[in-house]
Chains A and B, each alone.
Chain A
Amino acid sequence: MVWFSTIFHRNRRLLNFGCVIIIFLLITIFQGSVRPFLGNMALSIFHYPFSELKNGIESLKSVAENNRNLKNTLTEASLQLSFLVEARRENQRLREFLGFEPPENFRVVPVKIVSLGHNQYPIAAVINKGTKDSIRINQPVINRFGLVGKIKEVMPEFSTVQLITDPANAVSARIAESRQFGIVRYNPEEGMIFDNLPADASINKGDLIISSGLGGIYPSGLSIGVVDSVLTVKGEIKKSIWLKSNVDFLEIEELYVLESVPQ
């Protein structure tokens, strides 16, 4: 063995070169066996783990990209859905209004609210039609639930509606059943009140209050509200009635201006 070790150490350089040349020749000559064997071994040991890692990273990137795209699509879809839900609500409201009959000699002009003027409670609304659309001062404004107010100011493309919740806007009204007259006004502290009613007037909770037609602004028969509670003070000749308005002034959207039709 000593002679072998001596030969090995003396000719190490030669052996190295010899082995490398033999391997090179094997790789070159045996294309179908040695090359695939070495290639597969090198690929599975050295390339495969990093290729998997790279694929994983790229897959994560692609997942992140997809996630971003899906989020964008979801946002757009949610937006469209909210528009559709809103359109469905509007459609429903308009369908309900189709059954509404305007007072005789009046036609309805649909308008939309641009802004609401608040003072604890809405007292005025700006609508999207004005003199260009034949809107005039003092025209009554309603929605599908009843009387809302009257036109107070008119501009070419906009108008201001004075709501019946404005304390300065009193409406001549009557009890639908007993036909007795009174005045409906709104007090920010007490709410909607129907007063100036004789103390002996017959009235019950739930009675409907409608516009009387007196005063020349509001046509008769427009629903205003229902009786919520009655206050009779002994010795007083008038009684006050608290009303529950038919219209929810915090949620008004589509309004209709009543335009008189010349006979």
Chain B
Amino acid sequence: MKVIPYLLYLFLITFHSIILSDIISILGVRLNLLILIIVIIGLFKSETEAIWFGLSAGIIVGAAGPALMPWEVLVITIIAVAVKQVSSRINLESLASKVVVLASSVFLYDVIKSLIISTEEFLFVLVRYILPGTAYTVLIGLIFFLIKDGRISRQKIKALF
């Protein structure tokens, strides 16, 4: 298992959470890059990589608020393992199945997190942040999957224009 790419992913997650998320947020709706990367690793890498990356990401994300660290570790690791388990049972060629896995992971993570830490009314948070945030993350994930599958490429974009 190569460690350096995963370290870079962890740096990317922290960079996003500290600096980038405010810049690329749309009307307060944020991209959930953490779960996007967890899902991508869960879908395309081995179970060992998924589980250890999930644990590391949970510790790093939870470091910002040590009281919630066990929750973060638990939820993120479970999502990583769950995605890996699901990925071995679905058709990874299908774009829709990957998108559904991504959407349900982001939605589940945001719901659990808001139930644990949010002080606002759940329905408001659901409508105002969780659903739009899931849509935003799914859109970015969709673009990633399309590029990864070769359905979007520079040649194709050039051919369009």
Residue numbers of A with Cβ under 8 A of B are 12-13, 16-17, 20, 23-24, 27-28, 35-36, 38-43, 46-47, 50-51, 53-54, 57
Q: Is B66's CB under 8 angstroms from A36's CB? A: yes
Q: Is B19's CB under 8 angstroms from A46's CB? A: no
Contact partner of B18 (CB less than 8 A), chosen from A12, A17, A41, A47, is A47
B137 within 8 A of A: no
Q: Is A27's CB under 8 angstroms from B69's CB? A: yes
The 6 closest A-B pairs by CB, nearest first: A42-B63, A50-B18, A39-B63, A46-B14, A28-B70, A42-B60
**Known interface pairs A16-B52, A53-B19; A27-B59 also in contact (CB < 8 Å):** yes
Q: Which residue of B lies closest to A52 (CB)?
A: B18
CB contacts (< 8 Å) of A53 on chain B: these are 18-19
B10 within 8 A of A: yes
A13 to B70, CA, bound (A): 22
Q: Is B66's CB under 8 angstroms from A50's CB? A: no
What are 23 A-to-B residue pairs whose CB atoms are below 8 Å? A16-B47, A16-B48, A23-B55, A23-B73, A24-B74, A24-B77, A27-B59, A27-B69, A27-B73, A28-B70, A35-B66, A35-B70, A36-B66, A39-B63, A39-B66, A39-B69, A40-B63, A42-B59, A42-B60, A42-B63, A46-B60, A50-B18, A53-B19
Interface residues contributed by chain B, number (CB under 8 Å) = 22
Q: Which residue of A lies closest to B62 (CB)?
A: A39
Q: Is A50's CB under 8 angstroms from B51's CB? A: no
Q: Is B11's CB under 8 angstroms from A46's CB? A: yes
Contact partner of A13 (CB less than 8 A), chosen from B14, B15, B19, B47, is B47
Contact partner of A17 (CB less than 8 A), chosen from B11, B51, B62, B70, is B51
B117 within 8 A of A: no
Q: Which residue of A lies closest to B49 (CB)?
A: A16
CB contacts (< 8 Å) of A17 on chain B: these are 51
Least distance between B19 CB and chain A CB atoms (Å): 5
B64 within 8 A of A: yes
Q: Which residue of B lies closest to A47 (CB)?
A: B14
CB contacts (< 8 Å) of B11 on chain A: these are 46
CB contacts (< 8 Å) of B77 on chain A: these are 20, 24
Name 5 extra pairs, CB < 8 A, besides A24-B70, A27-B59, A42-B62: A24-B74, A24-B77, A39-B62, A46-B14, A47-B60
Least distance between A117 CB and chain B CB atoms (Å): 61
Q: Is B19's CB under 8 angstroms from A16's CB? A: no
A20 to B77, CA, bound (A): 9
**Known interface pairs A16-B52, A20-B55, A24-B70; A47-B63 also in contact (CB < 8 Å):** yes
CB contacts (< 8 Å) of B74 on chain A: these are 24
CB contacts (< 8 Å) of A50 on chain B: these are 14-15, 18-19
CB contacts (< 8 Å) of A27 on chain B: these are 59, 69-70, 73
Least distance between A6 CB and chain B CB atoms (Å): 17
A263 to B62, CA, bound (A): 100
Q: Is B59's CB under 8 angstroms from A51's CB? A: no
Least distance between A249 CB and chain B CB atoms (Å): 64
CB contacts (< 8 Å) of B63 on chain A: these are 38-43, 46-47
A126 to B14, CA, bound (A): 72
Q: Is A12's CB under 8 angstroms from B48's CB? A: yes
A27 to B61, CA, bound (A): 14
